[in-house]
């Protein structure tokens, strides 16, 4: 694909000055350098997440138990939604690489089509992430803490402004995840709920129903930072898309701008591959 | 107007232009990688759903997740980002500093957090 890069060029000519020894343009090389620094940032975040998790002595939340919902459906679908987001990003990465390939053939129609589809895929991903954040923040049934510092998980959520008796089949689970896990129903459950100190539902920066506060903090920061990159990528793609429509690159004689934003867009996909593994799977 | 994104003396990108036959060949590779990435992701999700953390199989699954992720990352960087088609010197300039730095960061992160975990377990009331 990179025609010049595969040519056998004499070393003295290559490194003798007056040309790029890497046989890439200035802009492309700087995009690569930027991506290396950005990759270091994301690696730092993921290593920090691993650090917090490894050092933590309690039970750390497990991805498939936290992320198991689909929009508009009830039931348990572990990881399906995240897998869907991953596929959206992979497919938009493929359309981007097809746009780059069309650019190398000076096929303006092809670039328009594939770059357009890439932008659509980007918006789909951003929308999915917005829903996931909303679901993570609102949470599911949640848990209560009592004065003796015990945690009881709710089976059904008690909506704001309602009491336990308003909820049909109200029940609590004590010793969640341990051997002596048991369900409490009836008046005992209602009185425990009424004497609660705190009702934790969903997630914010200080407390969440899934596990230690750092878990939600890392979720917000890592997926948020990645989502911001996706947003930036969509903006860059739109700017380049306008250039394609106006015929700027046709006149310039090459579509390298598509290739450069393509690098950024693939990097966003690359980061998601790692976030998917280290945040959701492991 | 002087623009830094214009290629003046060197014509690398213009040289990278290819014809329809070559394009077909490249697209074939792209479709192959697409299928590969999709299959690996599907396997990962299936393993994530069916193998619970803490079971006997879990350590194997965990390391296979990391291995599969690295394979996926390799295909994205080398094929989708075309780093595999670039000059060897550029490949090393990009990959080596990153690899050295991250291996070091992983090493100190894992060592220190494991140690911290031990201490907290020991002195917890």
- Give B 44-73 residues with CB within 8 A of chain A: 44-45, 48-49, 53, 62, 65-66, 68-69, 72-73
pLDDT band at A34 (very low <50, low <70, confident <90, very high): very high
**What's the rounded Cα separation, in Å, for the pair B47 and B42?**
9
What is the per-residue pLDDT across B57-67, written as a single tens digit (0 to 9) for each?
899 999 999 99
Q: How many CB atoms lie within 10 A of CB A227?
A: 20
Indicate which of B39, B61, B87 best probes the interface with A, i.e. most A CBs within 10 Å of its own CB: B87
**Mean pLDDT within A93-113:** 94
Range list for CATH 1.20.120.80 in chain A: 25-139+209-281
pLDDT band at B11 (very low <50, low <70, confident <90, very high): low
**What's the rounded Cα separation, in Å, for the pair A99 and A241?**
10
**A179-193, B38-52, B70-84: least confidently modelled range:** A179-193
Which of B15, B27, B105 has the CB atom closest to A4's CB atom?
A: B15
**What's the rounded Cα separation, in Å, for the pair A170 and A184?**
9
What are the two backbone dihedrals, phi and then psi, of residue A281, each rounded to the nearest 5 degrees?
A: -85, -45
pLDDT band at B107 (very low <50, low <70, confident <90, very high): very high
Q: Outline where chain A has alpha helix (H).
A: 11-14, 26-55, 63-66, 80-104, 108-138, 186-194, 213-246, 248-252, 256-275
For residue A30, the SS3 value is helix
Check CB contact under 8 Å for B76 and A269: yes
What is the per-residue pLDDT across B75-92, written as a single tens digit (0 to 9) for each?
999 999 999 888 899 999
Terminal-residue alpha carbon distance, chain A:
36
Percent over 90 (pLDDT), chain A = 55
Per-residue pLDDT, A1: 46
Indicate which of B77, B105, B109 best probes the interface with A, i.e. most A CBs within 10 Å of its own CB: B109
Contact with chain A for residue B111, Cβ under 8 A:
no
Query: Which residue from B33, B107, B84 is spatially nearest to A47, judged by alpha carbons?
Result: B107
Check CB contact under 8 Å for B18 and A104: yes
Check CB contact under 8 Å for B13 and A25: yes
Check CB contact under 8 Å for B113 and A94: no
Closest-CA residue of chain A to B90: A22
pLDDT band at B103 (very low <50, low <70, confident <90, very high): very high
**Mean pLDDT within A38-62:** 94
pLDDT band at B102 (very low <50, low <70, confident <90, very high): very high
Percent over 70 (pLDDT), chain A = 99
Instruction: Identify the H or E element spanning A183.
Output: strand A182-185
**Mean pLDDT within B115-123:** 93
**Mean pLDDT within A240-257:** 91
Check CB contact under 8 Å for A105 and B17: yes
> Is the model's pLDDT at B1 over the cut of 70?
no
CATH superfamily of A25-139+209-281: Cytochrome c oxidase, subunit III, four-helix bundle (1.20.120.80)
Per-residue pLDDT, A173: 87
Check CB contact under 8 Å for B124 and A57: yes
| Packing angle, helices A108-138 and A80-104, rounded to 10 | 160
> Is the model's pLDDT at A2 over the cut of 80?
no
pLDDT band at B7 (very low <50, low <70, confident <90, very high): low
How far is A260 from chain B, CA to nearest CA, in Å?
9
Across A2-6, A247-251, B12-16, the highest mean pLDDT is recorded for A247-251
Across A72-86, A182-196, B72-86, the highest mean pLDDT is recorded for B72-86
pLDDT band at B12 (very low <50, low <70, confident <90, very high): low
**Mean pLDDT within A238-252:** 93
For chain A, give the mean pLDDT: 90
Contact with chain A for residue B120, Cβ under 8 A:
yes
A205: Cα separation from own chain's centroid: 18
Check CB contact under 8 Å for A105 and B18: yes
Q: Tokens 């459906």 correspond to what residue?
A: A73
Query: Which residue from A189, A208, A186 is spatially nearest to A198, judged by alpha carbons?
Result: A208
- Give B 4-23 residues with CB within 8 A of chain A: 4-7, 9-20, 23
Chain A contacts of B30, Cβ < 8 Å? 94, 97-98, 101
């Amino acid at each position: 694909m990179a025609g010049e890069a595969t040519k056998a060029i004499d070393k003295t000519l290559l490194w003798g000055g007056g040309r790029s020894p890497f046989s890439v343009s200035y802009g492309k090389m700087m995009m690569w350098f930027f991506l290396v620094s950005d990759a270091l940032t994301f690696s730092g975040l993921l290593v920090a997440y691993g650090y917090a998790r490894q050092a933590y002595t309690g039970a750390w939340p497990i991805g498939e138990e936290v992320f198991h919902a689909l929009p508009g459906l009830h039931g348990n679908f572990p990881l399906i939604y995240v897998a869907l987001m991953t596929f959206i990003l992979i497919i938009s990465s493929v359309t981007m690489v097809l746009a780059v390939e069309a650019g190398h053939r000076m096929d303006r129609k092809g670039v328009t089509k594939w770059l357009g589809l890439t932008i659509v895929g980007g918006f789909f991903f951003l929308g999915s992430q917005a829903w996931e954040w909303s679901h993570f923040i609102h949470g599911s049934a949640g848990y209560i803490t009592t004065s003796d510092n015990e945690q009881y998980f709710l089976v059904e959520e008690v909506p704001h402004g309602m009491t336990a008796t308003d909820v049909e089949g109200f029940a609590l689970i004590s010793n969640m995840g341990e051997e002596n896990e048991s369900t409490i129903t009836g008046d005992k459950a209602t009185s425990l709920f009424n004497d609660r100190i705190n009702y934790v539902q969903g997630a914010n920066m200080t407390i969440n129903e899934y596990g230690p506060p750092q878990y939600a903090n890392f979720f917000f920061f890592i997926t948020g930072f990645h989502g911001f990159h996706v947003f930036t990528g969509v903006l860059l793609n739109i700017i380049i898309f306008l250039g394609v429509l106006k015929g700027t690159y046709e006149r310039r004689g090459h579509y390298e701008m598509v290739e450069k934003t393509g690098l950024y867009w693939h990097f966003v996909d690359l980061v998601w591959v790692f976030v998917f593994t280290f945040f959701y799977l492991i | 107007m002087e623009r830094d994104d214009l290629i003046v003396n060197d014509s690398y990108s213009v040289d990278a232009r290819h014809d329809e036959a070559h394009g077909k060949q490249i697209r074939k590779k792209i479709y192959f990688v697409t299928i590969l990435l999709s299959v690996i992701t599907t396997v990962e999700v299936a393993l994530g759903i069916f193998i619970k953390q803490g079971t006997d199989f879990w350590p194997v699954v965990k390391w296979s997740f990391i291995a599969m992720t690295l394979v996926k990352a390799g295909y994205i960087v080398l094929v989708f980002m075309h780093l595999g088609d670039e000059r060897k010197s550029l490949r090393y300039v990009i990959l080596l500093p990153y690899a050295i730095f991250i291996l070091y960061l992983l090493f100190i992160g894992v060592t220190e957090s494991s140690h911290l975990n031990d201490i907290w377990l020991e002195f917890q009331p």
